[in-house]
């Protein structure tokens, strides 16, 4: 029997983290096949809400062909005496959590990137209408966040009717993000942590600071603060920043402590502004990722919506797999688009001076936030298709990374005792792929041409770092 008697399937925390494979899905909503998908929360006046109403614009679940894919918009309108528009981001992010409580419903990602699947078994049990999903959301919002007093839910699946609200939602996200810009991590005493994605990645916790937006790109520092205030027992919690251990890398004693506690000892240190050493972990719903390209000693960036292979030949999904799961993986780093707009973006690694490639669609979104002189020096898929072409492009355009190649080349040749480059004996397996490159113990280990077996390993001391372990 369900937690709600009039809902044909179970609803509860145990269904969070449920994965629904394509072969088991009744229908898919949003996701990579659909251009238009979004979820949005709006705080309205009480008189503008018909409490308990569920509206479906377009085909309902029961009218969708088995195995088909549809666009999806979810709009939550809420009202309450203490509800303010500042809480819209907080309410909106809970859609992910509460939808995942429904047996046989999988919800991934956020905002303009949502991806849902309905399992065949749950459909057969009777979960064949958005009416049920809407009712569950309404009840969970009211019971978990009592400041929500009235709520109505709209689902849009009509491919034509979704366009306009989708565009409007993009404008609202941008306005929200702009609010936190300009604030500095140095100016606040508290950061916020979020463990909402621990059902998918148990050791992951997002550290949300004014200048490091959450990985999913949907919880700003302000949202974190609001969420921790209205729901102190919820997934978002306050972090006392503690002492500044390393300003460049972004290490704070309070953050280390919080990460250790929330990851049950798995993560002991977090460096907020770097992709190496002790990078911020990633769950699975990050908006984009930075990936190290050893051949040019620079970073590529990619976002979830990019459908082609990136410059190193790997698609977003493979890069995402390399960093997801709450691990700290050198050189593969889940990030949000808003974090790319921050002056602290990969600051310890050289910031934008280290970025060499990104899809044109990301460039368009962040170009106003990167140093002007760099804008035409960073390649996109329209400029180059291979690493060799990328090298030529960077040289021709005078990208600052090229200077560092010049500095390092003579050292590499002369430093025989400290740099080792050689063939690995045939058939020696490299089991840790695709975690390349690896930085550890004061050395950078670059695995080249490695798929299952590495042909070459370069071990090079890191400039300015003493030997003897991370962080020394
Ligand atoms: S990505 Fe991070 S901030 Fe966003 S919901 Fe997941 S844990 Fe929370």
Mean pLDDT value of segment 74-100: 95
pLDDT tops 50 at residue 424: no
Q: Let me know whether 255 and 315 are in one domain.
A: no
Segment 20-46 shows an average pLDDT of 97
Helices (H) and strands (E) in the chain, counts: 11, 21
Mark whether 103 and 225 lie in a shared domain.
no
Q: Does residue 308 lie in a domain region?
A: yes
Write down the pLDDT at residue 409: 54
Q: Assign residue 268 the CATH number of its domain.
A: 3.40.970.20
d(CA 244, ligand 1 centre) in Å: 24
pLDDT of 453 above 60: no
Sheet strands (E) in 280-331 = 288-293, 298-303
Given a cut of 70, whether residue 100 has pLDDT beyond it is yes
Question: How many angstroms is it from 245 CA to the middle of ligand 1?
Answer: 25
Point out the least confidently predicted range of 5-19, 177-191, 272-286, 414-428.
414-428
pLDDT reported for residue 407: 63
1 part of a folded domain: no
**What is the number of domains present in the chain?**
4
Centre of ligand 1 to C-alpha 213, Å, is 10
pLDDT value at position 225?
Answer: 95
- Burial category of 13 from C-beta neighbours within 10 Å (exposed 0-12, middle 13-18, buried 19 and up): exposed
Å from CA of 286 to ligand 1 middle = 8
Phi and psi at residue 42, to the nearest 5°: -130, 135
Dihedral sign computed on CA atoms, order 27, 77, 213, 259: negative
How far apart, in whole angstroms, are the C-alpha atoms of residue 339 and residue 182?
12
154 and 70 housed in the same domain: yes
Distances (CA, A) of 118 to 39, 53, 140, 407: 17, 22, 19, 55
**Quick one: average pLDDT of 444-470?**
45
The H-assigned helical ranges of 302-372 are 316-323, 337-340, 360-366
| Helices of type H across 13-162 | 88-100, 120-125, 130-144
Instruction: List 237's β-bridge partners, or say none.
Output: 193
Residue located nearest, by CA, to atom 2 of ligand 1: 206
**Residue 451 pLDDT more than 80?**
no
- From the CB of 206, is ligand 1 less than 6 Å away? yes
Select the more confidently predicted residue: 62 or 442.
62
Q: What is the pLDDT of residues 223-252, one digit of tens each?
A: 999 999 999 999 999 999 999 999 999 999
Q: Mind giving me the DSSP string for 3-46?
A: SSTTSSS-BSGGGTT----GGGEEEEEESTT-S-EEEEEEE--G
pLDDT in tens, 249-271: 999 999 999 999 999 999 999 99
The pLDDT tens digits of the residues spanning 355-399 come to 999 999 999 999 999 999 999 999 999 999 999 999 999 999 999
What's the rounded mean pLDDT across residues 118-141? 98
Is the pLDDT confidence value at 413 over 90?
Answer: no
Boundary of a domain, candidates 386, 414, 442 = 414
How many angstroms separate the Cα of 26 from the Cα of each of 33, 128, 158, 300? Answer: 16, 10, 18, 36
Q: Do 398 and 422 have their domain in common?
A: no
Task: Please indicate, yes or no, whether residues 34 and 139 belong to a single structural domain of this protein.
Answer: yes
Mean pLDDT of 340-348: 97
Span 97-111, mean pLDDT? 96
Examine residue 5 and state whether it is found in any structural domain, yes or no. Answer: no
End-to-end CA distance of the chain, in Å?
57
Residues 154 and 298 in one domain: no
In the reported structure, the alpha carbon of residue 223 is separated from the centroid of ligand 1 by a whole-number distance in angstroms of 12
Q: Mean pLDDT, to the nearest integer, of 411-438?
A: 41
Instruction: Report if residue 23 sits inside a domain.
Output: yes
Q: What's the predicted TM-score (pTM) here?
A: 0.79
The reply to whether 170 and 37 lie within a common domain is yes
Whether residue 289 contacts residue 302, with contact meaning beta carbons closer than 8 Å, is answered with yes
Domain boundary among 286, 304, 334: 286
The residue range of the domain holding 379 is 287-323+350-414
Q: Looking at the structure, tell me whether residues 26 and 159 fall in a common domain.
A: yes
Average pLDDT over residues 72-87: 95
Confidence of residue 284 (pLDDT cuts 50, 70, 90): confident
Identify whether 2 is part of a domain.
no
For residue 151, what is the domain's CATH number?
Answer: 3.30.1650.10
Confidence class for position 17, pLDDT limits 50, 70, 90: confident
Residue 196, ligand 1, Cβ within 6 A: yes
Q: Residue 396: helix, strand or coil by DSSP?
A: helix
| Pairwise CA distance, residues 71 & 38, whole Å | 9
Residue 411, pLDDT score: 45
Question: Looking at the structure, do residues 29 and 143 belong to the same domain, yes or no?
Answer: yes
441 pLDDT higher than 90: no
- The residue whose C-alpha atom lies closest to atom 4 belonging to ligand 1 is 216
The mean pLDDT value for 265-282 works out to: 96
104 in a structural domain: yes
Per-residue pLDDT, averaged over 332-341, amounts to: 96
Residue-level pLDDT at 2: 55
Query: Is residue 201 predicted with pLDDT exceeding 60?
Result: yes
Distance 196 CA to ligand 1 centre (A): 6
Instruction: Assess whether the C-beta atom of 95 lies below 6 angstroms from ligand 1.
Output: no
Q: Based on the fold, state whether residues 245 and 292 are members of the same structural domain.
A: no
Domain annotation covers residue 335: no
What local confidence, expressed as pLDDT, does residue 250 receive?
A: 98
Q: 379 and 460, same structural domain?
A: no
The reported pLDDT for the residue numbered 47 is 97
Flag whether pLDDT at 318 surpasses 80: yes
Secondary structure E strands in 203-265 = 206-208, 236-240, 244-246, 251-252
Q: What pLDDT is attached to residue 182?
A: 87
Query: In this structure, is residue 20 part of a structural domain?
Result: yes
pLDDT at 412 over 80: no
Residue that terminates a domain, selected from 268, 286, 304? 286
Any atom of ligand 1 within 6 Å of the Cβ of 335: no
190 — pLDDT class (breaks 50, 70, 90): very high
Tell me, yes or no, whether 144 and 125 share the same domain. Answer: yes
Rounded to the nearest integer, the mean pLDDT of the chain is 88
Question: Are 73 and 155 a contacting pair, CB within 8 Å?
Answer: yes
> pLDDT grade, residue 450 (50/70/90)?
very low
- Burial bucket for residue 188 (CB in 10 Å: 0-12, 13-18, 19+): middle
């Amino acid at each position: 029997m369900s937690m709600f008697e009039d809902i044909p399937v179970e609803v509860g925390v145990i269904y969070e983290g449920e994965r629904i494979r394509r072969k088991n899905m009744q229908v898919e909503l949003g996701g990579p096949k659909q251009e238009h998908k979004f979820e949005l929360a709006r705080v309205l006046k009480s008189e503008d809400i018909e409490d308990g109403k569920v509206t479906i614009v377009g085909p309902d679940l029961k009218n969708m062909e088995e195995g088909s894919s549809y666009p999806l918009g979810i709009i939550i309108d809420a009202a309450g005496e203490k509800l303010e528009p500042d809480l819209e981001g907080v309410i909106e992010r809970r859609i992910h959590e509460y939808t995942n409580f429904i047996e046989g419903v999988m919800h991934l990602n956020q905002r303009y990137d949502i991806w849902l699947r309905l399992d065949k078994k749950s459909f057969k049990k009777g979960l064949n209408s958005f009416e049920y999903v809407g009712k569950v959301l309404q009840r969970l919002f009211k019971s978990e966040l009592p400041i929500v007093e009235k709520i109505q839910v709209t689902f849009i699946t009509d491919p034509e009717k979704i366009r306009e609200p989708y565009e409007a939602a993009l404008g609202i996200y941008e306005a929200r993000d702009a609010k936190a810009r300009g604030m500095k991590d140095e100016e606040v005493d508290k950061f916020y942590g979020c463990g909402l994605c621990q059902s998918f990645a148990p050791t992951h916790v997002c550290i949300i600071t004014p200048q490091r937006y959450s990985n999913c790109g949907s919880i700003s520092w302000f949202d974190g603060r609001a969420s921790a205030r209205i729901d102190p027992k919820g997934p978002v919690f306050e972090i006392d920043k503690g002492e500044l251990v390393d300003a460049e890398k972004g290490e704070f004693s309070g953050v280390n402590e919080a990460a250790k506690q929330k990851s049950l000892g798995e993560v002991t240190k977090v460096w907020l502004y770097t992709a190496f050493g002790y990078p911020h972990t990633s769950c699975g719903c990050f908006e984009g990722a930075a990936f190290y390209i050893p051949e040019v000693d620079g970073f590529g960036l990619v976002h979830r919506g990019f459908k082609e292979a990136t410059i190193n030949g790997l698609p977003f999904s493979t890069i995402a797999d390399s960093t997801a799961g709450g691990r700290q993986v050198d050189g593969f780093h889940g990030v949000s688009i808003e974090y790319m707009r921050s002056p602290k973006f990969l600051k310890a690694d050289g910031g934008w001076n280290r970025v060499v490639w990104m899809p044109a669609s990301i460039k368009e979104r962040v170009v106003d936030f990167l140093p002007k002189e760099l804008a035409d020096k960073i390649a996109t898929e329209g400029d180059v298709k291979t690493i060799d072409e990328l090298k030529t492009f960077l040289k021709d355009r005078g990208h600052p990374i090229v200077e560092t190649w010049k500095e390092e080349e003579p050292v590499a040749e002369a430093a025989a005792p400290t740099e080792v480059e050689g063939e690995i004996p045939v058939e020696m397996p490299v089991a840790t792929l695709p975690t390349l490159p690896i930085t550890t113990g004061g050395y950078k280990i670059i695995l080249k041409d490695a798929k299952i077996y590495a042909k070459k390993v370069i071990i090079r001391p890191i400039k300015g770092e003493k030997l003897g372990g991370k962080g020394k």
